[in-house]
Amino acid sequence: MTFDPGRPLSGVRVADLTMIWAGPYAAKILADLGADVIKIESPRAWDNIRTLIPPPVAPGERWWNTNFYFHEYSRNKRSLSLDLASDSGRSVFAQLLPHCDVVIENYRTDVMDNLGLTYEWLREQREDIIVVGMAGFGKTGPEKDAVGYGPIIEMMSGMTSTSGYGDDGVPYKSGISYGDPIAGIAASAAVSTALIHRQRTGQGQYIDLAQREVMSTLLGEFYMDWSMNRRLPEHMGTDHDWMAPHNVYRCAGADDGDDWIAICVRSDAEWAGLKRAMGSPDWAERDDFSDQILRWEHRAELDELVGSWTSEHSKTDIFAALHAERVPSSPVWKMLEMMHEPHLKARGFYEPLRHPEVGIWQVHGWLWRADGAGPCVVAPAPDFGAHNEEILGGLLGLSRTEQDALAAEGVIADRPANTSPASEFPATPSLL
Amino acid sequence: MSSTDHSPPDASRPYDGVRVLELAEGISGPYAGRWLAALGADVIKVERTSGDPSRAFGPWPNDQPDDETSGLFLYLNGDKRSVTLNLDTSDGREILRDLAQSAEIVIESFPPGYLAERDLDYAALSADNSSLVMISITPFGQTGPNADLPATELTLYAASGQMWLTGHPDRQPLKNGGSQPSYQAGLNAFSAVSSAYFGAIMHGQGSYIDLSVQETYAGMAEAYHTRASQLGIESQRSGNNLHATWGLYELADGYGGVCLLPRNYPPFAQAVGLPELQEDRFADAGQRLSNNDELMAILYGWFIGQTRDDLLELGIANRVPFGFVATFEDLANSEHLRSRDFFADRDDAAAGSLTYPGRLWLSSAHEWKMGAAPKLGQHNVDVIHGELGYEREDLVRLRELDAI
């Protein structure tokens, strides 16, 4: 087999028991990197993300396969429906495990043990199995039974305490559920690291990855300030502790009046560049703004003056002028604009995802790109149970009769049980 | 043995004996290198002769700037070795090429083109080392119209789309505290090199990876970007409350909050105990959104009477996703985190007593090193003389030539 530098994990098989976001994001990275990721869902307890938001087209016969949220985290994977809470489901899982290198889950702390899927049991099926548990707070300790989605993880990690406008004492969460993808990236690194370890020693391992702890590692300097000076962070809004100008400024030209550009000046040279871009206004020559320290001390007034310039121009015109002067700046890109942002477009960051019922839309491709890699997105998220036959029959050698028996028992299915569009999601699509 | 009881059987670590050259400054590359070092790699941090600029970033003990006590540097560079090299000298470049012969992984964060101009790019370094894995971490990647654009944390926050989504809808877009664009890129870089190194072990072939901070950060724009592309709908800043049961509230002693998917609402209503939460107008997710303001008003009144500890206990007892805005004081003293050996507690020779995150995850196979960061050029003699075989007289000459 020729080596595909974009897919270093090809040949690795992952039993993906994850749900919602943090776990599926991890498994998505593994799938993008070439692993054969088998997304396993019970017909009775499927990944809620399928039904969290309305389908993009009129709810069709199999509407749970179509929403963008589900596709975002499960492209490039295969789908196996299997009820792990039933004896026969567990028995099939036991037959599948010898073919798997990795089991990954982000259930509540107690769920795997309650299902009888302990590390010990998993190892009995495959001795060098790598198991990754991604519970929010970890598998041990007094808070192990706490549960949380991304913003809870962000709050409990210290992250939220660092963010805020600064004038009202209110801490602010991120606009996304930041804790989730961060945990997912770390879990993907944990899998690769454990694969390296297994290759060198022959041993598998159990990885207890607490989402809160991963998030907390992105805040080292705040822990150090507490250690060294018993000081907690102040909310700085968009200010900086020595740069000025350093802010987002409102621009002209937006239909919604909500266009902004971020501009930062780190040196006298960049200040000179900003002045030229602004057309060398007289006010910029004032003694108050003649060096970095003075500009920082007078930053409130400086922000007003820079803002009055930006308010007369579009963010793309300002960005072009500042780019030419090599001043750090960027429009605050909106979601609809991201798909057309010239730089990302030139790099091919977004790739088309094709689904037979929905059509084509854009999703992000490679998070990082290996030289020589082809396209990242090779398949949409799989329909529920789409690979049952391929995996149960092809890989495990179960006969048609055996598969029919599993289906009759409700252990496998080609559709989730108990779904009804009307009751699953709100009438308005504004949940997100 | 249950899944919660597992102690490392031996001290071997996954990257023992793996050599990493870290030609990276600031946060992202060093963050990736830090975990490789903690997991056993011999990370040689190649610094410019004046040192990684992060040595000059705080915080410092008592706010006294000192090259050896930068909290940021000490956090990001534990268990590495430091060698200084001036890559503008031919001797400096020659030593780097020698080092690269024995390296499995190179992490670099120079501006695009910098290494190629010095004949130190992937083609040059891997010429006699075809299994070399090398990653370049830059704000916008190696190609494209913005590749040469200088960037800051704020401009990257804006460029990734994250900023558009963060902050109050009636106020300007807001930035997270700290240096999240760089940190998240470092975490992605760790995943990138670990998977690529696994590929190199399996296939005997290395790879070169181009990582753009903007792209890794844009990739986690939740479903907001794909929502825009599939449905053509723009998303707005939602402040601290996406809706009543997804966000932050003021508590009696700070801030906290709740995040509920539809299936979490019944146990939540039960745990809170207010009868009005059981009324028909809040019966399902659609009803709750239609009556969002009323629900928020009720919850505002309830949360303000809760303490942070009560809220967490209530969440644990009822399996409801409650949490509070923890401070670094709370975290450093957390019985839970301490019971999981999350922290490196280290008495640093120069900086005093320090407590900081010491690992990413717990492994049944190995522990994590939690050692000191090197002084500038501390390992010049060990590495250049001891391992590469340069004579001591050479070192004196190299120093005079400003090569090390």
With beta carbons less than 8 A apart as the criterion, state whether A177 and A150 touch: yes
Amino acid occupying residue A68: F
Rounded to whole angstroms, the Cα distance separating B232 from B228 reads: 4
Q: What is the dihedral of CA A251, A256, A258, A259, to 10 degrees?
A: -40
Residues of A in contact with B366 (CB under 8 A): 197, 205
Q: Which residue has the tokens 């239609």?
A: B290
Average pLDDT over residues A233-249: 96
A199 in contact with chain B, both atoms CB, cutoff 8 A: yes
Token pair listed for B155: 């401009």
In this predicted structure, what is the pLDDT of residue B5? 46
| Chain A CA closest to residue B289 | A426
Is the model's pLDDT at B350 over the cut of 60? yes
pLDDT (0 to 100) of residue A174: 95
Q: Do B329 and A232 touch (CB under 8 A)?
A: yes
Inter-CA distances, A209 with A16, A214, A302, B4, Å = 15, 8, 46, 12
Tell me which of A143, A330, A358, A428 to substitute to probe the interface with B (most B C-beta atoms closer than 10 Å).
A330
How far is the first Cα of chain A from the last one, in angstroms, to the nearest whole number? 43
* CATH code, B241-331: 3.30.1540.10
Q: Which chain B residue shows the shortest CA-CA distance from A240? A: B154
Residue of A nearest to B32 (CA): A189
Taking an 8 Å cut-off on Cβ atoms, the answer to whether B205 and A5 are in contact is: yes
What dihedral angle (degrees, nearest 10) is formed by the CA atoms of B151, B154, B159, B165?
Answer: 170
Residue whose C-alpha is closest to residue B366's, from A270, A204, A423: A204
pLDDT single digits (tens) A33-70: 999 999 999 999 889 888 777 777 665 678 889 888 89
In chain B, the percentage of residues whose pLDDT exceeds 70 is: 97
Of B168, B184, B364, the CB nearest to A206: B364
Residues of chain B contacting residue A260, judged by C-beta atoms under 8 Å apart: 158, 163, 172-173
Distance CA B164, CA B179 (A): 17
CATH assignment of A13-218+349-424?
Answer: 3.40.50.10540
Domain covering B19-220+344-400: architecture:
3-Layer(aba) Sandwich (3.40)
Average pLDDT over residues A411-431: 64
Can you point out the beta strands (E) in B17-127?
19-23, 42-47, 81-84, 105-108
Give the pLDDT confidence score for residue B279 in this predicted structure. Answer: 97
Residue range A115-169, pLDDT digits in tens: 999 999 999 999 999 999 999 999 999 999 999 999 999 999 999 999 999 999 9
Chain B residues with CB inside 8 Å of A139's CB? 3-4
Q: With an 8 Å Cβ cutoff, is A45 touching chain B?
A: no
Residue B240: list chain A partners with CB under 8 A.
170, 172-173
The alpha-helical segments, DSSP class H, found in A348-399 are 388
Q: Cβ separation of A147 and B232 shorter than 8 Å?
A: no
Query: Is pLDDT of A430 > 50?
Result: no
Question: For B189-233, what is the HEC assignment?
Answer: HHHHHHHHHHHHHHHCCCEEEEEEHHHHHHCCCCCHHHHHHHHCC
- For chain A, give every domain's residue range: 13-218+349-424, 246-338
Smallest Cα distance from B87 to chain A, Å:
24
Strands (E) located in A106-203: 130-133
- Read off the pLDDT of each residue in A166-187 and give the average, rounded to a whole number: 96
User: For residue B36, which phi and psi values (nearest 5 degrees)?
Assistant: -60, -40
A146 and B316 within 8 Å at the Cβ level: the answer is: yes
Q: Does B370 touch chain A (CB under 8 A)?
A: no
Least confident of A272-281, A314-323, B191-200, B258-267: B258-267
How, if at all, do strands A260-264 and A246-250 pair? antiparallel
- In a mutational test of the A interface, the residue from B328, B348, B353, B363 whose CB has the highest number of chain A CBs within 10 Å is B328
Q: How far is CA A135 from CA A117, A121, A145, B10, B268, in A?
A: 15, 19, 9, 25, 20
What is the distance between the alpha carbons of residues B85 and B48, in angstroms, rounded to a whole number?
6
Tokens of B304: 């303000």
User: Cα separation of B380 and B85, whole Å?
Assistant: 9
Q: Which of B381, B388, B395, B379 is nearest to B79 (CA)?
A: B379
pLDDT at A431 exceeding the cut of 90: no
Least confident of A270-279, A308-317, B296-305, B382-391: B382-391
The angle, 0 to 180 degrees and rounded to 10, between the axes of the packed helices A315-324 and A268-277 is 130
In the predicted structure, residue A210 carries a pLDDT above the cut 60 = yes
- Count CA within 13 A, CB hemisphere, residue A360: 5
Closest approach of B373 to chain A, Cα-based (Å): 14
| CB-based contact A155 B335, cutoff 8 Å | no
Where are chain B's structural domains? Answer: 19-220+344-400, 241-331
Is the distance from CB of B372 to CB of B348 less than 8 angstroms? yes
Domain A246-338 homologous superfamily, CATH? formyl-coa transferase, domain 3 (3.30.1540.10)
With a cut of 60, say whether residue B7 has pLDDT above it: no
- Residue carrying structure tokens 């994250």: B162
How far is it, in rounded angstroms, from Cα B330 to Cα B15?
33
Which value, in Å, is the radius of gyration of the alpha carbons in chain B?
A: 25
- List of chain A residues whose C-beta atoms are within 8 Å of the C-beta of residue B207: 5, 8, 370-372
* Residues of chain A contacting residue B26, judged by C-beta atoms under 8 Å apart: none
The count of residues in chain A is: 432
